Amino acid sequence: MPRIHCSIVPPYLLDRIAGLGDPQLALASRAARHALVELDPVLQNRAEALSAPVRRGGAVVGTLHRRIHDAGTREELPGTLLREEGATATGDLAADEAYEGLGATYALLSEEYGRSSVDGMGKALHATVHYGMNYDNAFWDGEQMVFGDGDGEIFTRFTASLTVISHELTHGFTQYSTNLEYQGQSGALNESLSDVFGVLVEQRLLGEPAETASWLVGKGIFTDQVEGEALRSLKAPGTAFDDDVLGKDPQPATMADYVETSSDNGGVHINSGIPNHAFYLAATALGGPAWEGAGRIWYDAVVSGSVLTDCDFRTFAGTTHDAAVQRFGAGSREAGAVAGAWTRVGVPV
């Protein structure tokens, strides 16, 4: 099976950093150029989605099994084993953060939704830390998680953010449940699902209700030199960062500002702000733990069998509404909240 890279840092950010002429950010520019070199062939082949078996059915009993490896700044996988299931903390921050993040993501899927790991069949969760020298990204490669340590000028270590870990691992869940094509609106939905379940992992771990959660993806991976909180915001797309070097967060919140572009695989990291915001609106309308309300509805939709590889926003909106009706009833508060959320972002249900 070919491997693909679903990476956390959008190519438009890497492009901007790579083109910097500031000698004080020379290391960051070199790191971004290198990350783009690795990303380019991935983006060219992204349309050829993995032919992984789709597993939408009920979960099987599984046991969490994690293995964390150290690449030692090389770009070779998996690297030297640092920690596996049940072992004590290593003292290596990246390794221990990856271990805990994988566990928190597994717990959401297993304990809330009854799914045994990302594939529904108890797949072991493997990760490699300290990948590359000053490597500016983290990604799911179709089989395992990989984390760079950042360049130290713009990005710090990517395991510092739980939502980065859970976002990337959710690409594995999507791979095995819908395998959404990584292009245009279906690709934006692919990215959005990772953001949605990524923030739900963090909210559940912290015990945060929808009303008080940050709704940020990637908080903690920028250095203090960057004017910005995170890579993306579900609460307010377009406001996560506004920096002299990085520019302004380009995500739209509604279809009125949908970005037509040939870059970023048709704007998969940009237009994901629209379904992201729809989820936020549904979750906050329902209130309480989002992983129990809107999260359950989104999960039901994903595994329903109705989300095909070329699914667009309108189709997915209808599928989430159908899932709410099936679980809670046609006249339920939940179904109304979902329909209202999609309507507010300009996607008819």
| In the chain, domain spans | 184-344
Report pLDDT for 184. Answer: 96
| Tokens encoding 259 | 């970005």
349 residues of the chain, pLDDT tens digit each: 334 457 899 999 999 999 998 888 999 999 999 998 877 544 443 334 344 555 554 445 678 999 999 999 999 999 999 999 999 999 999 999 999 999 999 999 999 999 999 999 999 999 999 999 999 999 999 899 999 999 999 999 999 999 999 999 999 999 999 989 999 999 999 999 999 999 999 999 999 999 999 999 999 999 999 999 999 999 999 999 999 999 999 999 999 999 999 988 899 999 999 999 999 999 999 999 999 999 999 999 999 999 999 999 999 999 999 999 999 999 999 999 999 999 999 999 9
List the alpha helices (DSSP H) in the chain: 11-18, 26-45, 93-107, 113, 162-177, 184-206, 264-267, 273-286, 294-302, 313-328, 333-344
For the chain, the C-alpha Rg in angstroms (whole number) is 19
Report pLDDT for 43. Answer: 43
Report pLDDT for 41. Answer: 45
Report pLDDT for 281. Answer: 98
Domain spanning 184-344, CATH architecture:
Orthogonal Bundle (1.10)
Report pLDDT for 54. Answer: 59
Distance from the first to the final alpha carbon of the chain? 36
> Residues for the chain: how many in total?
349
The pTM is what?
0.94
Report pLDDT for 24. Answer: 87
Report pLDDT for 104. Answer: 98
**DSSP count for the chain of H helices, then E strands:** 11, 10
| Tokens encoding 275 | 């379904």
Catalytic residues: 168, 269
The alpha carbon of 318 is separated from its chain's Cα centroid by a whole number of angstroms, namely 22
What phi and psi, each to the nearest 5 degrees, are found at residue 105? -70, -45
Q: Return d(Cα 80, Cα 177) in angstroms, integer.
A: 31
Q: Return d(Cα 139, Cα 148) in angstroms, integer.
A: 9
